[in-house]
Amino acid sequence: MSSRGLPWLKQDGEEFRVMYREGPEGTPFHTMVVEGFVDGPVDVCKFMYLMGDMPLQKMKAGIGEQLSLVRMKVSWPLSTREAIVHYYLFEYFQDDLIVVLTNSVSKSKNATETLYGFNNEVIPEEKDVVRIDLVGGFVLQNVTSESSYFR
């Protein structure tokens, strides 16, 4: 049980762990933690934080800062979800460590207030999808020359 009294659903494997918890009752918030090992060094795993869909993918906002449209297809009866994600990337070369902090842009009409230099024409309107908010981040670190740790 967590400090808020809500239980975690967990699935543990030999090389991974997934934990999920619903947010407080009456809110749309959920918490998810995924950690485990990836077969390959960090430089091979960069695709994980460069995922995206449509021309918005990999639009550079500043040094170590990008904007990306991420779309997730989910099982029926839910509709496809997408998030416009504004993320910062920090690389710590001495420790073979990459840290990515993410925050979604809630509505395209708010983009100019949230992201300096972008206008509403750059961010597409949602079509036949549900736009979701996403706040979080992840870390990738080399463990050996053949594997990395993800959390």
Predicted pLDDT of residue 55? 42
- Number of folded domains that form the chain: 2
The owner of tokens 């997408």 is 82
Expressed as residue numbers, the domain containing 6 is 1-38
Report the C-alpha gap between 4 and 41 in whole angstroms: 37
Residues 64 and 112 in one domain: yes
Same domain, 60 and 25: no
Report whether 2 contacts 22 (CB < 8 A): no
Regarding whether 2 and 51 lie in a shared domain, the answer is no
What pLDDT score was predicted for residue 78? 72
pLDDT tens digits along 28-51: 778 888 899 888 777 765 544 444
Answer whether 0.75 is exceeded by the pTM: no
Say which DSSP state 80 is in: P
Task: Please give the DSSP secondary-structure letter assigned to residue 6.
Answer: P
Amino acid, single-letter form, for residue 83:
A
| Closest to 122 (Cα-Cα) out of 52, 49, 50, 59 | 59
Q: Same domain, yes or no, for 84 and 122?
A: yes
Same domain, 127 and 90: yes
**113 and 68 within one domain:** yes
Same domain, 131 and 143: yes
pLDDT at 63 over 50: yes
